[in-house]
Chains A and B, each alone.
Chain A
Amino acid sequence: MTFRTFIAATLLAGSSILAAPAGAQETYKVGISAGLTGYAATVDRAWRDGVELAAEAINARGGVMGRKIQVIVEDNRSEPQEAVTVYRKMLSSDGAQVFVSGCVSAGNFAAAGLLVRAKVPMMLCSILPQQPDQLKWAFSTLPPAGFEVEKRLEYLRDKTQIRKVGVLHDPTPYANLQKSVAEKVAAKYGIEIVAIEQYKQDDADLSVQISKMRSAGAGAVLKIGLGGSTLTAAKNIKQLGADMLLLTSLEDLAVFGPVAEVLGDKFFFVASPSQVYDALPEGPLKAEITKFLGPWKAKYGDRDPNWASRGWDGLMLTATAVETGKSFEGAAVRDAYEGIKGFQGTTGVYNFSPEVHQGITENPFVLATIVNGKIKVVQ
């Protein structure tokens, strides 16, 4: 026996020992493929923590249909190839019955075919795969890409004189999607897009792009994309002495503090309801967020709740689907997802149907700014 086969044998023996007591008290196994490392780390770690928090809450009230939820997490390193490996592992050796997976869209696409063959549905953080047979088994908690753009255009139309804007985006699929929505709908808001510029996430300087926009007459920059580049854009706008507003897409709140310090009242960001909890009116949405935010704050303090709250929604929707379909079977859960209507989540109201697998159909976002260190909703 070589050393390697010895290790393999030991691991096998070990896993069968671990698997043995599962029969005693059966659990409902939920798999998460998440980019715990790599570019999606911040977002996907939060998503995972949100799902786990929801699992604790559901288990505390006795589980779903008498079974406790068991969450299985694997790191896909934000890479599609790796995602296929971890999906396969969770399907075959862990026996995952449903997936509530993170925001690495390419990874979820790559594994979609695998899930179709296994008849296991997935509720995602990311955008949905495009192929009809794969789409059938995939659902998303993500609000449509247009919502983030429209909220910003709405603000510019209603509250400012600015009618010319530049779009600054990174090369990810999600950012490209938002960019094309912006091109399509801007006219509807009476706004002209005078420049579309791309940047790469690790660019050290964006002043070339911003100069170009300014000379094209743009009074505001719609920035689309995650990460520290928002800070770079803010710094560059200030360095150029440009009189422009910066309106950024959804992002971790921790990034915005320093940005607001740089640009002050010229900086606005799209926020999801859980990020502006204090400024929300009383109502079913706030009540739902309260259920989530209590345990979240107890465990993680001031950490940004946005992605975690959608992870929470993802698992809550799944539990609802199991209960309404009265089955743990993949096909039954899939059908039940499609029947969920008027589900009040922390991000908004979810309405699924056989045609609509992206459940949020009404714009849940607000536009916010930071005044004296406090978040203020402006639209």
Chain B
Amino acid sequence: MADFSYIPQVLVSGLGIGCVYGLIGIGFCVIYNASGIVNFAQGAFVMLGGMLTQGLLQRYGLPLLPAALVAIAIVALLGVVLERVVVRPLWDRKATMFTMILATLAAQIVIERVTLLVGGDQPKTLPMFTDLPPIQVSGVAVSYQLLWIVGSSLLAVAALAAFFRLTRTGKAMRACAINREAAALQGIPVSRMLAAAFAISAALGAMAGILITPTQYTAFNVGVPFAISGFIAAIVGGFGRPFGAFLGGLMLGLVQSLAILGFGAGLKTVAALSVLLLFLFIRPSGLLGAAK
């Protein structure tokens, strides 16, 4: 095969999916920082983002943007509910960390099943945000959806950075991440920060789900693979470092795409994980170093 013009194309695709992994990875970090919990229901947020938007679009005839915003709001609310109903009671009873992690996994399964019952098992999708043929840049097709994904992700990351740096709540959340007891002693309502963390990461997950759905399909069971990729992204970035997670996501997306080229899709994840494992041997604390 003499024609390797598809390699830049592959990198572009990897970048797009990488942004999505990154957003999901950030979600993991935000909750982890506030509580020390790894929230395995993160995938459910991603799935619900796509499914709810599709439902609002189809059933209630809302235009795309309001439907997406409403979906993000609902999922964020659900994040808070999850925190109140599942995590908080365990937290208050001083349950061990792995009990809470397991509880989030259970919540993931419940949400998935409920979605199956309500939404059915058929795959659905969203229309492209801008339904135009892709832009051709010297033989590489750049679709408008890709621009939406990259643009929105960067915006979200920037907004998040501003939030953590400039607002009181953001600063308080960072304080919790550094040391929860000390933060509590300073009068920071740690449990409210926990709820806020769930809301933020649920919203990020939903946003990731909405951005990616126009390029693929969504169904009740798409959440878990995304959650796994997001989790890997978070680890690569240095668990607990939101921006590291974003970089980790980009890296994972690129490595996966190249792995499909080199080894085929069957070994995509194996190859990607091997590379990342090697990377972690060299730099055990992740791209940006461990949070704590």
Residues of A within 8 A of B (CB): 41-42, 171, 197-200, 202-205, 207-209, 211-212, 214-216, 227-229, 231-232, 235-236, 238-242, 252, 254-255, 258, 262
**A232-B215 in contact (CB<8A):** yes
For A241, the chain B residues whose CB sits under 8 A away are 133-134, 136, 141, 143
**B121-A205 in contact (CB<8A):** no
**B265-A209 in contact (CB<8A):** yes
| Bound Cα distance from A236 to B225, whole angstroms | 19
**A215-B125 in contact (CB<8A):** no
- Asked if B39 lies at the interface with its beta carbon under 8 angstroms from chain A, I say no
Q: Which residue of A lies closest to B143 (CB)?
A: A239
**B265 nearest CB across to chain A (Å):** 5
- Asked if B3 lies at the interface with its beta carbon under 8 angstroms from chain A, I say yes
**A215-B141 in contact (CB<8A):** no
**A204-B257 in contact (CB<8A):** no
**B146-A239 in contact (CB<8A):** yes
A–B complex contacts, Cβ < 8 Å, 11 sampled: A204-B225, A205-B17, A207-B13, A216-B1, A228-B123, A231-B125, A231-B216, A236-B216, A239-B145, A239-B215, A242-B141
Given contacts A204-B216, A239-B143, A239-B146, whether A199 and B265 have CB atoms under 8 Å apart is yes
- Asked if B268 lies at the interface with its beta carbon under 8 angstroms from chain A, I say yes
**B125-A211 in contact (CB<8A):** no
**A235-B123 in contact (CB<8A):** no
Number of residues in B with C-beta < 8 Å to the partner? 44
Residues of B within 8 A of A (CB): 1, 3-6, 9-10, 13-14, 16-17, 20, 121-125, 128, 133-134, 136, 141, 143, 145-146, 212, 214-219, 221-222, 224-226, 257, 260-261, 264-266, 268
Given contacts A239-B143, A241-B136, whether A202 and B266 have CB atoms under 8 Å apart is no
For B266, the chain A residues whose CB sits under 8 A away are 171, 198, 200
**A201 nearest CB across to chain B (Å):** 9
For A231, the chain B residues whose CB sits under 8 A away are 123, 125, 216-217
**B143-A198 in contact (CB<8A):** no
Contact of B215 among A171, A197, A235, A242 (CB under 8 A): A235
**A185 nearest CB across to chain B (Å):** 23
**B5-A215 in contact (CB<8A):** yes
| Bound Cα distance from A198 to B146, whole angstroms | 23
Contact of B10 among A211, A229, A238 (CB under 8 A): A211
**A215-B3 in contact (CB<8A):** yes
| Bound Cα distance from A208 to B11, whole angstroms | 9
For A262, the chain B residues whose CB sits under 8 A away are 125
| Bound Cα distance from A212 to B260, whole angstroms | 10
| Bound Cα distance from A252 to B120, whole angstroms | 13
